[in-house]
Amino acid sequence: MTHTSVVNLKRGERCDVYMGRASSAWRARPLLDPGARWNGLDGFYGNPFPAMHGRGSALGHFLPWFHRKVATDPVYLERVLSLRGLRLACFCAPLPCHARIIADWIDAFPEDWAWAFLEVVRRQAAARSEVSPRSCSA
């Protein structure tokens, strides 16, 4: 099974994908290996919950948000699943961080199961977006 790792940008470690907010992406650009499908510089993978009240608080909010997001947003889920086996970069590692939560979630499931889950999420999203026909009376 492929291992998804988390590296620290402050240490100058090479990476495949930046996992932080767009406002700090400039710091990651020189360390990114070229050719990544999505490099994360747009802040797509950033934790939407700032650590203003401590890392634990931000991670406590992130975890349920992340579980809801992967269960309901097929675009987000597909991009998260594409991170399998890559080096995810943040400023926190080796401290607990949202990139580690994502990496552990990806690696917890066999790859074929993960892609089957994506198909389920896609079907559910499509079903939610269907508008039931309404009868109109004149």
Q: What is the pLDDT of residues 51-74, one digit of tens each?
A: 777 778 889 999 999 999 999 999
* Residue 110 included in any domain: yes
Q: Higher-confidence residue: 23 or 92? A: 92
* Residue 135 included in any domain: no
* Residue 134 included in any domain: no
* Residue 13 included in any domain: yes
Please indicate, yes or no, whether the overall pTM of this predicted structure exceeds 0.85.
Answer: no
Q: Higher-confidence residue: 61 or 132? A: 61
The order of strands in the sheet holding 17-18 is 5-8, 87-90, 17-18
Q: Quote the tokens at residue 117.
A: 């889950």
Query: For the chain, how many structural domains are there in total?
Result: 1
Residue 38's domain comprises 5-124
**In the structure, what pLDDT confidence band is assigned to residue 27 with cuts at 50, 70 and 90?**
low
* Residue 129 included in any domain: no
The stretch 76-100 carries a mean pLDDT of 91
The whole-angstrom separation of Cα 13 and Cα 32 is: 9
55 residue type, one letter: R
* Residue 61 included in any domain: yes
* Residue 65 included in any domain: yes
